[in-house]
Chain A
Amino acid sequence: MLVVRAIREQDFDGLMALAEKVGSGMTTLKPDRKALGQRLEIACASFAEQIAPPQRDYVFVMEDTAIGKVVGVCAIKSAVGLDEPFYNYRIGTLVHSSKELKVFSRMDTLYLSNDLTGCAELCSLFLHPDYRHGTNGKLLSKSRFMFIAQFPHLFSEKLIAEMRGFQRADGRSPFWDSLGRHFFQMEFDRADDLTALGKKSFIAELMPRHPLYVAYLPQEAQEVIGRVHVDTAPARRLLEQEGMYFEGYVDIFDAGPVLQARVSELRALRDSDLAIVDTGLTLEREDHPALVATTRMQDFRVITSETHPHRSRIALTVEQQQLLACRTGDAVRAMPLIPKKSPHA
Chain B
Amino acid sequence: MFVVRPVAATDIPALEAMSSVTTPGVHTLPRSRATIERAVERSIASFKAQPDMPTEEAYFFVLESDGVVAGTAAISATAGSSGTFFAFRNDVLSQVSRDLNISHNVHALTLCSDLTSHSQLSSFYLNNRSGMGDGAALLSRARLLFAAVAPHRFSDKFFASMSGITDANGRSPFWEALGRKFFQMDFLEAERMIEGARNRTLIVELMPHYPVYVPLLPGEAQAAMGQVHDEGELPFGILSDEGFEPDEYIDIFDGGPILRAHKNALRSFSQSMRRTVAACAEDDTERTAFLVAVAREDGFRAVLTQCPPPELSETLGLDDDAMRALDVTAGDAVLCVKL
Question: Given known contacts A103-B183, A205-B96, is B104 in contact with A185 (CB within 8 Å)?
Answer: yes
Whether A202 touches B99, Cβ cut-off 8 Å, given contacts A105-B181, A213-B181, is yes
Contact with B along A177-193 (1 / 0, CB 8 A): 01100111110000000
What is the CA–CA distance of A307 and B186 in the complex, to the nearest angstrom? 67
A198-223 residues with Cβ-Cβ distance < 8 A to B are 199, 201-202, 205-206, 208-213, 215-218
Q: Interface segment, A26-34, A81-89, A90-98? A: A90-98
The answer to whether B181 and A107 have CB atoms under 8 Å apart is: yes
Instruction: Kindly identify which residue among A103, A208, A215 contacts B213, using a CB–CB cutoff of 8 Å.
Output: A208
Measured in the bound complex, the distance between the Cα atoms of B100 and A205 in whole Å is: 10
The smallest beta-carbon distance between B45 and chain A, in angstroms, is 26
> Interface size for chain B: under 10, 10 to 19, 20 to 34, or 35 or more residues?
20 to 34
- Check A205/B95 contact, CB under 8 A, given A182-B215, A216-B212: yes
**Residues of chain B with a CB closer than 8 A to A178's CB:** 216
CA distance A179 to B213 in the complex (A): 10
B212 touches A211 (CB 8 A): no
Q: What 1/0 flags go to B299-324 for Cβ under 8 Å of A?
A: 00000000000000000000000000
B99 touches A199 (CB 8 A): yes
- B100's nearest neighbour on chain A, judged by CB, is A202
Cα(A206)–Cα(B103), bound, Å: 9
Q: What's the minimum C-beta distance from A299 to chain B, rounded to whole angstroms? A: 41
Chain A interface size band reads 20 to 34
CB-defined contacts of A287 to chain B, threshold 8 Å: none
A96 touches B182 (CB 8 A): yes
Indicate which residue in A96, A182, A205 contacts B97 across the interface (CB closer than 8 Å).
Answer: A205
Known: A183-B106, A212-B213. A206 touches B97 (CB 8 A): yes
Neighbouring A residues of B217 by C-beta, 8 Å: 216
List B61-106 residues whose CB lies under 8 Å from chain A. 93, 95-97, 99-100, 102, 104, 106
Main secondary structure of the interface of A (DSSP, over half): mixed
Q: Report if B23 contacts A (CB, 8 A).
A: no
**Residue A101, interface by CB 8 Å:** yes
A residues less than 8 Å from B185 (CB atoms): 101, 103
Majority secondary structure of chain B interface residues (helix, strand, loop or mixed): mixed
> Looking at the complex, which of B114-122, B126-134, B200-208, B241-249 is the stretch in contact with chain A?
B200-208
Asked if A105 and B215 sit within 8 Å, CB to CB, the answer is: no
Is A201 within 8 A of B213, CB to CB?
no
* Interface contact A216-B216, CB-CB below 8 Å: yes
Choose from A101, A182, A217 the contact partner of B106 (Cβ within 8 Å): A182
Task: Tell me, in angstroms, the Cα distance from A208 to B178 when the chains sit together.
Answer: 18
**Do A202 and B210 have beta carbons less than 8 Å apart?**
no
Q: Which residues of B contact A209 (CB under 8 A)?
A: 93
* Smallest Cβ-Cβ distance to A204: which chain B residue: B97
The reply to whether A105 and B206 contact each other, CB–CB distance below 8 Å, is: yes
Whether, in the assembled complex, B34 has its beta carbon less than 8 Å from a beta carbon of chain A, the answer is: no
Q: Are A183 and B206 in contact (CB under 8 A)?
A: no
Asked if A210 and B202 make an inter-chain contact with CB atoms under 8 angstroms apart, the answer reads no
| Neighbouring A residues of B205 by C-beta, 8 Å | 96-98
Which residues of chain B are near A212, meaning CB under 8 Å?
A: 210, 213, 216
Is B211 an interface residue, CB under 8 A from the partner? yes
4 nearest A-B residue pairs (beta carbon):
A182-B215, A98-B202, A205-B97, A98-B205
The chain A residues found within 8 Å of chain B, CB to CB, are 94, 96-98, 100-101, 103, 105, 107, 109, 178-179, 182-186, 194, 199, 201-202, 205-206, 208-213, 215-218
Identify 7 new A-B residue pairs, CB closer than 8 A, beyond the known A105-B181, A182-B216, A216-B212: A96-B182, A97-B206, A205-B95, A209-B93, A210-B213, A212-B216, A216-B217
